[in-house]
Amino acid sequence: MKLLEFLKTPLENLKGIRPEYIRKLKKAGIVTVGDLLYLTPRTYEDRKKLKKMKDLKDGEKAVFIGRVVDVNIIKTPKGKEVFEVTFSDGTGEIKAKWFHYNKRGFLERFKPNSEFIIVGKVTKNLFEGSLEVIHPETRSLRSVDVEDVLKLIPIYPSVMELESKTIESIIDKILSRIENLNEDYLPSWLLRELKLPLLNEAFIIVHRGLDDIEKLKESRSRGHIRLIFDEFFLPQVAINYTKKLIKGRKGIAFNTNSKLAEEFLKNLPFELTNAQKRVIEEIKRDMASPKMMNRLLQGDVGSGKTVVAIYSALIAVENGYQVAFMAPTEILAEQHFYNIREYTKGLKLRIALLTSSTSKNEREIIQRSLKHGAINIIIGTHSLIQERVEFKRLGLVIIDEQHRFGVVQRKMLREKGENPDLLVMTATPIPRTLALTVYGDLDISTIDELPAGRKPITTRVITEKDRIKAYSFIESQLRKGRQAYIVYPIIEESEKLDLPAVTEAYPEIQKFFKDFNVGMLHGRMSWNEKERVMNKFKSGEIQLLVCTPVIEVGIDVPNATVMLVEGAERFGLSQLHQLRGRVGRGPYKSYCLLVIPGDRLSGNSYLRLKILEETMDGFKIAEEDLNIRGPGEFFGTRQSGISELKVADIFRDRDLLELAREMATKLIEMDPYLRKEEHIYIKKTLEERKLLETVHYLDSG
Ligand code: ADP
Ligand code: MG
């Protein structure tokens, strides 16, 4: 396909672009023709309307025609020469002024009575009170047609100091070369159905501004719509393609009438929320079906996902299968291990914990038991993925805190069984459309309700100036018998890379809280140390825990009622929301204090963090977080190409994302393996952009 090939051409292979420009573009990551064509105008300038001089207004950028009536070279008081041309169009007069000019050339150019089309910003001269234009663009009417000037001008973002006009002229050269490349990798049925222009047309519309200016400015020209659609469509096709392959795969049809699971429910000291009941039904339906389950379970911190996960694990166990439960950190794995053991007491299960700190001896025993089927549920970290971990009959894989694991890890764990069901849990709820993009190959269940009686955590943003007051407040809570956390960010860019801020602050904090036991916990401590500290905090022997966000997930100490977060401005909103979920887990009123630098509550950090004072709704917070930081930073990784969007904007263009999803589904229903002649270019493009990477293992597996 010629157009697609051309898009891949390095700019230096084109004739007529100055090496200096190519170098600058390259520096900005613009290497190929395609890179440059996807650099879309930031906005457009309307030069379509020709104005009469009598209608010109102060401050407007205008296009008008003028005949030269007078030429003067004026001296400023400082002795600088200004070239001044007076133009008239019969309705009025206006002066054009140049401070930099070539005298000979200018005198030659602006001959009396010659006519020009003039583009410039009209301003009022403060001394003379009349209108003038400084350094306007002028084109002699002898050399151009008026129509060629009366158009929309694209304004490009500045790239390595290249002027918009320079970029425009380079792109213009490229556009003239794609004018006849009328092929498209999208099938014609799709273009017809959506009335989309061809790809080359789309580029031309966007760069030459060939649509209504309002539409162009709002990225809603026919060209924009096509380019945005493409960006959403391809990943969506990849997702649907993958999904189809997985869905078609035969999995395990569990018998979901499980005595174990029901007994577990009966033993719980509480009633399930309606949301929990609903998602359990959704999961049961998947597990009962002979197809593989691929389900994402999302719910706010403390919404009770673990209980739901255990319920599904028990179904698998009762059916004679093993369950692997993977968590992102050792602390969390251990926490799950103890929780699950506690929850399933009396059910006669064999549950084991496997992390990188498991001793060699124990590890061997665990591996052997797993292989012989003597262990029902194994909980662990990445260690579970290791080659030597083999299962007799792995039937269900549960993965907690999804966004820390990639598709690859998901797959590696899953391959240890024969098409086991998969349940992925995340406590970072994200807006639905976005969820569909990021977790597109998963079906989604949402727990949108917290157990009754949960009290909101009173949250306050404070400044460093009020730290001592905050300490006193913590102290008052400790005196009442409660416990507290002081959390420090990990400052990666610090010179003392190995030394988190927490170790520096620890002695001071110990001094302040001298009547209490203060413990410290951070990621650089050995596993044994961490465990010792954690256990002491759980038992209440340590009252105040000074730590890094290692406690972010999973720690459950209902007696803890205050959390103070230092350097709160360094955290994402969702992360802070997760963090504060560590308090408010018991019957006591709980507090979260977010410390920001400075001595006044103002500025961006404050405005950003305020939402945490206002709401406990994890969805709202996540949405705000996404809005502020953008999807790339929010997810921290490149996921499903989401951070690579060039033209599209995941928020602004939700409607097109939805449309792309719809069409991708339709395409895959029509041609699941993309084997039809008219779809081979889609498949090729997907492969080239590595969007099918996640699929290959499924193809071969
Ligand atoms: P998540 O994993 O979603 O953050 P957990 O499953 O850890 O939440 O549950 C948080 C706390 O709430 C746990 O102590 C759990 O026992 C409790 N819990 C779970 N479901 C309910 C419920 N329906 N009613 C009351 N408490 C519940
Ligand atoms: Mg949890």
Q: How far is residue 627 from each of residues 150, 615, 651, measured CA to CA in Å?
A: 38, 16, 8
Q: What is the pLDDT of residues 170-196, one digit of tens each?
A: 999 999 999 999 989 999 999 999 999
Q: Please state the pTM of the whole predicted model.
A: 0.65
Ligand 1 nearest-atom number relative to CA 299: 3
301 lines ligand 1 (CB under 6 A): yes
Question: Are the C-beta atoms of 33 and 174 separated by less than 8 Å?
Answer: yes
For residue 373, what pLDDT is reported? 95
| Torsion-angle region of 431 (φ positive above 0: left; ψ -120 to 50: alpha; else: beta) | beta
Question: Are the C-beta atoms of 148 and 46 separated by less than 8 Å?
Answer: no
Question: Are the C-beta atoms of 616 and 456 separated by less than 8 Å?
Answer: yes
For residue 148, what pLDDT is reported? 77
The alpha carbon of 595 and the centre of ligand 2 are apart by a number of angstroms equal to 25
User: Which ligand has the shortest distance to the CA of 310?
Assistant: 1
Q: Whose CA is nearest to atom 18 of ligand 1?
A: 304
Beta bridge partners of 103: none
The alpha carbon of 451 and the centre of ligand 1 are apart by a number of angstroms equal to 7
Question: Are the C-beta atoms of 167 and 161 separated by less than 8 Å?
Answer: no
The alpha carbon of 645 and the centre of ligand 2 are apart by a number of angstroms equal to 31
Ligand 1 nearest-atom number relative to CA 453: 25
307 lines ligand 1 (CB under 6 A): yes
Among 514, 556, 549, 502, residue whose Cα is nearest residue 534: 556
In this prediction, the residues of the chain whose per-residue pLDDT falls under 50 are 493-498, 636-643, 694-701
157-160 long-range Cβ contacts below 8 angstroms, 24+ apart: 157/39, 157/42, 159/24, 159/25, 159/28, 159/30, 159/39, 160/24, 160/25, 160/27, 160/28
The alpha carbon of 271 and the centre of ligand 1 are apart by a number of angstroms equal to 11
Measured distance CA(499)–CA(448) in Å, rounded: 39
For residue 408, what pLDDT is reported? 63
The alpha carbon of 321 and the centre of ligand 2 are apart by a number of angstroms equal to 24
Q: Whose CA is nearest to atom 20 of ligand 1?
A: 304
User: Which ligand has the shortest distance to the CA of 577?
Assistant: 1
336 lines ligand 1 (CB under 6 A): no
Please tell me what DSSP assigns to residue 345.
Answer: T
For residue 649, what pLDDT is reported? 80
303 lines ligand 1 (CB under 6 A): yes
Q: What's the start-to-end Cα distance of the chain, in Å?
A: 31
567 lines ligand 1 (CB under 6 A): no
User: Which ligand has the shortest distance to the CA of 553?
Assistant: 2
The alpha carbon of 440 and the centre of ligand 2 are apart by a number of angstroms equal to 22
Q: What is the pLDDT of residues 9-67, one digit of tens each?
A: 999 999 889 999 999 999 888 999 999 999 999 999 888 888 999 999 999 889 999 99
428 lines ligand 1 (CB under 6 A): no
273 lines ligand 1 (CB under 6 A): yes
Distance of CA 136 to the CA centre of its chain: 43
Task: Return all residues near 281 (Cβ < 8 A) that are at least 6 apart.
Answer: none
Q: Indicate the top mutation candidate among 307, 308, 555 to test ligand 1's pocket, ranked by most ligand atoms within 8 A of CB.
A: 307
Among 410, 398, 394, residue whose Cα is nearest residue 306: 398
640 lines ligand 1 (CB under 6 A): no
The alpha carbon of 619 and the centre of ligand 2 are apart by a number of angstroms equal to 16
Q: Whose CA is nearest to atom 26 of ligand 1?
A: 451
272 lines ligand 1 (CB under 6 A): yes
Q: Is 246 exposed, middle or buried (0-12, 13-18, 19+ CB in 10 A)?
A: buried
The alpha carbon of 14 and the centre of ligand 1 are apart by a number of angstroms equal to 62
431 lines ligand 1 (CB under 6 A): no
For residue 76, what pLDDT is reported? 84
Q: Indicate the top mutation candidate among 264, 266, 268, 270 to test ligand 1's pocket, ranked by most ligand atoms within 8 A of CB.
A: 270
User: Which ligand has the shortest distance to the CA of 308?
Assistant: 1
Angle formed at CA 289 by CA 286 and CA 291, multiple of 5 degrees: 90
For residue 429, what pLDDT is reported? 66
Tell me the two tokens of residue 582: 């560590």
The alpha carbon of 259 and the centre of ligand 1 are apart by a number of angstroms equal to 22
User: Which ligand has the shortest distance to the CA of 300?
Assistant: 1
The alpha carbon of 486 and the centre of ligand 1 are apart by a number of angstroms equal to 24
For residue 500, what pLDDT is reported? 61
The alpha carbon of 585 and the centre of ligand 1 are apart by a number of angstroms equal to 9
Q: Whose CA is nearest to atom 19 of ligand 1?
A: 304
The alpha carbon of 567 and the centre of ligand 1 are apart by a number of angstroms equal to 29
Q: Whose CA is nearest to atom 6 of ligand 1?
A: 304
451 lines ligand 1 (CB under 6 A): yes
Cα Dmax for the chain? 103
Q: Whose CA is nearest to atom 25 of ligand 1?
A: 451
User: Which ligand has the shortest distance to the CA of 581?
Assistant: 1
User: Which ligand has the shortest distance to the CA of 302?
Assistant: 1
Residue carrying structure tokens 């698998």: 316
